[in-house]
Structures are given as C-alpha cells and as structure tokens.
A and B are shown apart, each in its own frame.
Chain A
Amino acid sequence: MSIDIQSIRKKFGTFEALARVDLKIGSGELVALLGPSGSGKTTLLRIIAGLELADEGQILFRGDDISKHNVKDRGVGFVFQHYALFRHMTVYENIAFGLKVRPRAVRPSKAAMDKKVAELLSLIRLEGIAARYPSQLSGGQRQRVALARALAIEPRMLLLDEPFGALDAKVRRELRQWIRDLHDKLNMTSIFVTHDQEEALEIADRVVVMNAGRIEQIGTPEEVYHYPANPFVYDFLGNVNFFHGRLEGGKLYLGDSNASVSLHGAAHTAGSPAAKIYIRPHLLDLDHAASPNAFKAKVKFFNAAGPFVRIEVLSEWGDTVRVELTQERFQILNLRKDDDVYVTFKDAKVFPASDYSI
C-alpha cells in the first residue's frame, strides 16, 4: 500500500519535532528513516501509525486521507523499540492478542487462531516456544515475537521503531538480513526507524535521511552514500575527513597553507571562495613521492586489523587526517610511524563554507 505524507508538522511545546515533512512511499517498499536522535524520525513513524497526532498536514494511505482515523482503523502493524510484549502472557497469547480482542462477530474461531499463530511461529522460525513467557526468550526471539504479533492482525503496512536497537552486534546483523528476506516474502510496505547508517544502507530500498525535523535527502542507499546532497548527509553516512579551504583559480587550497590540489569533482561549489571539503578515508591515497596534487603529512598511527588499514596522518597545517588503504597497498608502501608521506585525493566533495558545519 502506498503512503503519501503531505507537509506534516509537529511541535512538542516549543520544540519543533517535524517541520513540514513531505514523503511518498511506494507500495511494497522497505524504507529506512535514518537520523540522529532528536531528528524527528520516530515522531514521523508514530504519526504514520496514529500513535501521535500531527499539528498540520495530511497522510494518505492509497489515496485516502487517514489523518483523522484512529490507530485501530489504520491497519498498521507496529513493532515497538523495546518490543512491548505483554509480560504476563505466553508467546501464543501475545501473538493471538490482536485476534482475541476483536468484536465477537469478526473474531476468528479458536481453531483458526491456533492455525494463524502456528503459521506465524513458523514464519519467525520459533516453532515450539508458544508456551513460553517473554522473560524466557532472548532479545532476538522477543524481537521476532513482537513482529509476529504485529503481523497477526494482517496489517496493511509494517512500522518498526529502532527494530534492532536493543540487540547485540551479532544478533543485529542476523536479524537485519532476516527482516529483509521477510519483507521480500510478504511484500508489505514497511518503514523502519534507525540511527545506524550501516543498517539503513544494508537493507532498505530507499533511505530517508532526517535531521532536526527535516528531510535532508531521500534516495537509494547508493545515492545517499555516493551522492550526498549536503554536508550533513555526507557526515552522517560513514567516516569522513573535513577540511576548511578556499577555491581559487580552479585550485583548492587546504587549511591556511599553500598546499593545493586540483580536483576533477570539485566543481560543486558556488560563489564564495571559502569552502568546506569532505572526503571519505578510502578516497585518499598515500605515496612516498611528492606530486603536484598532493599535500605533505606525517604518519602518526596505523591499525591493520580488519579488511582495511586505518591510518592517521598529521597534515602540515595541523589537521589529523584519516586514511583507509587496502592491505596490499599498505604493504607496498611499507609505512612506519613518523614517515613523511604525500596525500592525494581520489575524490572529494566541496561545499560552500556557509553550509552546515560539523
């Protein structure tokens, strides 16, 4: 089912949680709302669910305005951040709750309910735990029971609030892939909130990057990662180096120094010569030999554990610059602490200095 969010505003007291947010979500999409805490992402999710009321704006489900509908009539499945499982009910009772509370006329029979719960338990691969209580389950199992409970009422869409927030790293990764697979199987419009960029980039069809009540960028994971619309998105999605500098005569001068590089991708800036330069660590390279497009620096620290070698170098003008090299490249260079090296840019993004700053 498609969702059309039109200029939604929400204030809590004087705090503006959402400032005129517009967002269209296509039927069957898996969308991530990504942002730091206080960015309004959870508020937006709760407004879509009907747990919160917007001050202004409309929400259309498949073209129908449901802004005035209450939660029950919206037909949403909601998975709460801390699962909100009913602690005095067994897994079976939790999953069947939404069916049991239906008015008698539309309540399924006991047999139908049993069948439904069994189906859902097999969907979440937790057959045989129906009689357990939430306290007897692991975090990952609770998460899946919460999901099954939300699905039991056959919602038109699935909303998940920080679905992996309370889990440890390994379970998180497993569950992430599992949710993606489940989504593909059910083909249900799903929105999840997260502050973890890796999570959003890995499983979402589209990522909505939010900040301070506004949407900064909407796009596929590739788009937002490789073509960030502004410094905030660049900074929020992955590690980044940041330099002050100025653009003069097609050349980029870094820091207060005369070190300059020319960039093929540096045409983005407008007007003023003062610029902010963002570059991801893996888009920098090191070399022993000087070259016209490089600036000089000193190796301060490196750590070769992991697929990439993380290196910190100190530039002539005193900035610490993070560089990531492949293991092969690192071995070829044979770097040592306090070596002088030359840093070259493979790519960078230049924004006018007036924009968002870190």
Chain B
Amino acid sequence: MTNPTTSTAKLCTTRLTEPAWVRRVFIVIALAFLAFFLLLPVLTVLLSGLNKGFGFYFKVMAEKDAWAAIKLTLLAAAISVPLNVLFGLASAWAITKFDFWGKKALLTLIDLPFTVSPVISGLIFILLFGAQGAFGPWLREHDLKIIFAVPGIVLATLFVTFPFVARELIPLMQAQGTEEENAAVVLGANGWQTFFKVTLPNIKWGLLYGVILCNARAMGEFGAVSVVSGHIRGLTNTIPLHVEILYNEYQFTAAFAVASLLMLLALATLAVKSWVERQAKIAGSVEFAPKGH
C-alpha cells in the first residue's frame, strides 16, 4: 500500500484535470474554432465598413434612406420591446406563481416562435393581412395597409421577439418560488405592492437581460421582416433590409458600413449581457455566502 498522505497529494495534483498537453491542445482547438467562426466575422464587418475611410462611412450613414431605415428600426423596437416586456411579466407571473391546468401547454406555446422559421413568421401575416389574405379584402375596403407597410413590420417583429423576456423570467421566478409573495400578502400587501416591492426587485437583472436580448432581436430581425416589408426604400426598410439592398447592389463598403452599426449593437448587447450576468451572480452569491457588514 502507498502512504495515504502521498496518495491524497497525488489526487490533488491530478485533481479533475487532464495532462497539461491535453489541456493545451483543447484550448488551442477551441480558440481556433471560435476565432474562425466568431472573431473573424467581427473584424471583417468592422474593417470592410471602414475601408473607404471615415468620411465615406459617415456619408453612408447620413444618406436619407439609411436614416429612414434607422428610424423605422428604432420604431419597431420601441413598440415591440415594451409590449413583450408586459407579456413576459404577465405570463411569468401567471405561470410561476400559480398552479393551473394547461401550464405545460402554455409554456410550449411560448417557446414556439423560437422554432418557427423567420420566413414562416412573415408568411403567416401575409396569409392574414396580405392582398389574398383572410382580412385582405376588408383592409383594402377600409384603405388600410398592413403588409408592405409599417404595421406589418411591427407585427412580424413582435412575433419573433415575444418569447425573449418571458423565457428569461420564467425559470428565474420558478427558482425563487412563491414564499416571499405569500409573506407579503400575509403582511397585508396588495397585488401591486407585492409585485413592485417584492417580486420586481428580485427579478430586475433577469428582466434587464430579457429586454436586451429582445431588443437585439427586434432591431436585427431579417427574415420575417423581409417577407412583409416589400422593400420600399425610405418607407419600409429596416437597417438589416437596407444592408441587404446595398449588398445586392454591389455597394459592399456601404453595406458593411451599415452592417457595422448592427455589429456594434450586437457587441454592446453582449457586453451589457455579461455585465448583467455578473451583477446577477453577485446578487446571488450574497444570498449564499453570509459576510460581515
């Protein structure tokens, strides 16, 4: 038998790790894979956008159509994010604070848009509101336009982004349970007081996280919006659609310049996201590790 102290010492050095060379090989392969698939695209977009200099870059941005696309994108996000926050809060409250029949089915329904192809997400609104659609004739009679117009873009954006907030909040609120809410009610709080004073402070990071993801998708959605937009320059083009038009017209530098806006949005989203995650982790770790004042 070996001496017990040396054997534990050996256990500690080999503890949970592979030989150093294996570790190094794994890290190198993983990083190379990520460099090819993630880092390279980031650099490509930013550098290609700038390859005719900053003057050209700002000229592209200042163009009337680009500006209209930016405004429309902001509008679509400004409508769909708050609505989906409302939906996220309501559905998470109903699902996590109560037990009722059909809960599982409801959860599956909320997941649905994640698995529906963006093209189909747009198609369903054409089938409803397009010229040949169920409400098409009625809309034409009343001189209303949804498809190939701003309302269609907002609807498609709403559809593809609506699960984001709910999907962040539901697991979080499920883990937190209902004890604090019960305590608040026993102490005499009404529903709104319970929500604003007890629940909301506990879920603020998750909510912010959901809002960020929802916003990123709302501003960046391409397929669904592309189907319902009709690509009318200056009217129904969002930023991603504007990128496509420029690209298809072989204005590559301009396309990448506009795309770099979206890339920056994505990078900012990731930065805020990891910051939020760190905040949530800090808030969470206080829970488990009591420390002095």
By beta carbon, the residue of chain A nearest B202 is A88
Interface 1/0 per residue, A130-151 and B, CB below 8 Å:
0111011110000000000110
Q: Within residues 135 to 180 of chain A, which ones have a CB less than 8 A from any CB in chain B? A: 135-138, 149-150, 152-153
Q: Does B174 contact A (CB under 8 A)?
A: no
B188–A72 contact, CB under 8 A? yes
Within the complex, what minimum Cβ distance (angstroms) separates B168 from chain A? Answer: 18
Task: From the candidates B180, B184, B188, B292, name the one contacting A102 in the complex (CB within 8 A).
Answer: B188
A76 surroundings in chain B (CB, below 8 A): 186
Can you identify 13 A-B contacts, CB atoms within 8 angstroms? A78-B183, A80-B182, A82-B179, A86-B183, A86-B198, A97-B184, A98-B187, A98-B188, A135-B286, A135-B289, A136-B290, A149-B183, A153-B188
Q: Does B19 contact A (CB under 8 A)?
A: no
A101–B293 contact, CB under 8 A? no
Within the complex, what minimum Cβ distance (angstroms) separates A126 from chain B? Answer: 13
By beta carbon, the residue of chain B nearest A135 is B286
Q: Does A226 contact B (CB under 8 A)?
A: no
Q: Does A49 contact B (CB under 8 A)?
A: yes
Q: Does A290 contact B (CB under 8 A)?
A: no
A101–B286 contact, CB under 8 A? no
Q: A132-B293, A136-B292, A137-B290 are in contact. Are A101 and B179 (CB under 8 A)?
A: no
Interface 1/0 per residue, B164-204 and A, CB below 8 Å:
00000000000000011011111111100100011001100
Within the complex, what minimum Cβ distance (angstroms) separates A21 from chain B? Answer: 22
Q: Does B143 contact A (CB under 8 A)?
A: no
Sorted nearest first, the 10 A-B pairs with minimum C-beta distance are: A98-B187, A84-B179, A84-B183, A101-B189, A88-B201, A135-B286, A78-B186, A101-B193, A72-B188, A84-B180
Interface 1/0 per residue, A86-127 and B, CB below 8 Å:
111100000001100110000000000000000000000000
A85 surroundings in chain B (CB, below 8 A): 180, 183
Within the complex, what minimum Cβ distance (angstroms) separates A73 from chain B? Answer: 9
Please report the C-alpha to C-alpha distance between residue A136 and residue B188 in the assembled complex, in whole angstroms: 26
Task: From the candidates A80, A86, A87, A102, name the one contacting B287 in the complex (CB within 8 A).
Answer: A87
Please report the C-alpha to C-alpha distance between residue A82 and residue B289 in the assembled complex, in whole angstroms: 16
**Which interface class (under 10, 10 to 19, 20 to 34, 35 or more) fits B?**
20 to 34
Please report the C-alpha to C-alpha distance between residue A132 and residue B286 in the assembled complex, in whole angstroms: 12
Please report the C-alpha to C-alpha distance between residue A279 and residue B188 in the assembled complex, in whole angstroms: 49
B197–A84 contact, CB under 8 A? no
Q: Does B291 contact A (CB under 8 A)?
A: yes
A80 surroundings in chain B (CB, below 8 A): 179, 182-183
Within the complex, what minimum Cβ distance (angstroms) separates A43 from chain B? Answer: 14
Please report the C-alpha to C-alpha distance between residue A72 and residue B185 in the assembled complex, in whole angstroms: 7
B180 surroundings in chain A (CB, below 8 A): 84-87
B193 surroundings in chain A (CB, below 8 A): 101
Q: A71-B185, A84-B182, A88-B202 are in contact. Are A101 and B197 (CB under 8 A)?
A: yes
Please report the C-alpha to C-alpha distance between residue A132 and residue B198 in the assembled complex, in whole angstroms: 17
Q: Does A270 contact B (CB under 8 A)?
A: no
Q: Does A51 contact B (CB under 8 A)?
A: yes
Specify the main secondary structure of chain B where it touches its partner.
helix
By beta carbon, the residue of chain A nearest B201 is A88
Please report the C-alpha to C-alpha distance between residue A98 and residue B185 in the assembled complex, in whole angstroms: 9
A132 surroundings in chain B (CB, below 8 A): 293
B287–A101 contact, CB under 8 A? no
Please report the C-alpha to C-alpha distance between residue A131 and residue B184 in the assembled complex, in whole angstroms: 20
By beta carbon, the residue of chain A nearest B190 is A101
Within the complex, what minimum Cβ distance (angstroms) separates A217 from chain B? Answer: 30
Please report the C-alpha to C-alpha distance between residue A170 and residue B202 in the assembled complex, in whole angstroms: 32
Within the complex, what minimum Cβ distance (angstroms) separates B202 from chain A? Answer: 6
A82 surroundings in chain B (CB, below 8 A): 179
Task: From the candidates B182, B187, B293, name the one contacting A153 in the complex (CB within 8 A).
Answer: B187
Please report the C-alpha to C-alpha distance between residue A82 and residue B180 in the assembled complex, in whole angstroms: 10
Q: A84-B179, A135-B287, A135-B290 are in contact. Are A101 and B188 (CB under 8 A)?
A: yes
A102 surroundings in chain B (CB, below 8 A): 188
Q: Within residues 262 to 291 of chain B, which ones have a CB less than 8 A from any CB in chain A? A: 286-291
A88 surroundings in chain B (CB, below 8 A): 201-202
Please report the C-alpha to C-alpha distance between residue A98 and residue B287 in the assembled complex, in whole angstroms: 23
A136 surroundings in chain B (CB, below 8 A): 286, 290-293
A152 surroundings in chain B (CB, below 8 A): 187
A51–B182 contact, CB under 8 A? yes
B184 surroundings in chain A (CB, below 8 A): 86, 97, 101
A97–B187 contact, CB under 8 A? yes
B179 surroundings in chain A (CB, below 8 A): 80, 82, 84
A101–B187 contact, CB under 8 A? yes
Within the complex, what minimum Cβ distance (angstroms) separates B269 from chain A? Answer: 26
A131 surroundings in chain B (CB, below 8 A): 293
For B185, B190, B289, which residue has the most chain A Cβ atoms within 10 angstroms? Answer: B185
Q: A80-B183, A86-B180 are in contact. Are A133 and B189 (CB under 8 A)?
A: no
B202 surroundings in chain A (CB, below 8 A): 87-88
Please report the C-alpha to C-alpha distance between residue A135 and residue B293 in the assembled complex, in whole angstroms: 10
Q: Within residues 131 to 188 of chain B, which ones have a CB less than 8 A from any CB in chain A? A: 179-180, 182-188
Within the complex, what minimum Cβ distance (angstroms) separates B229 from chain A? Answer: 43
A77 surroundings in chain B (CB, below 8 A): 186
Contacts beyond the supplied A71-B185, A72-B188, A97-B187: 8 A-B pairs with Cβ under 8 Å: A86-B198, A88-B202, A98-B187, A98-B188, A101-B190, A101-B193, A135-B289, A150-B187
Please report the C-alpha to C-alpha distance between residue A86 and residue B179 in the assembled complex, in whole angstroms: 10
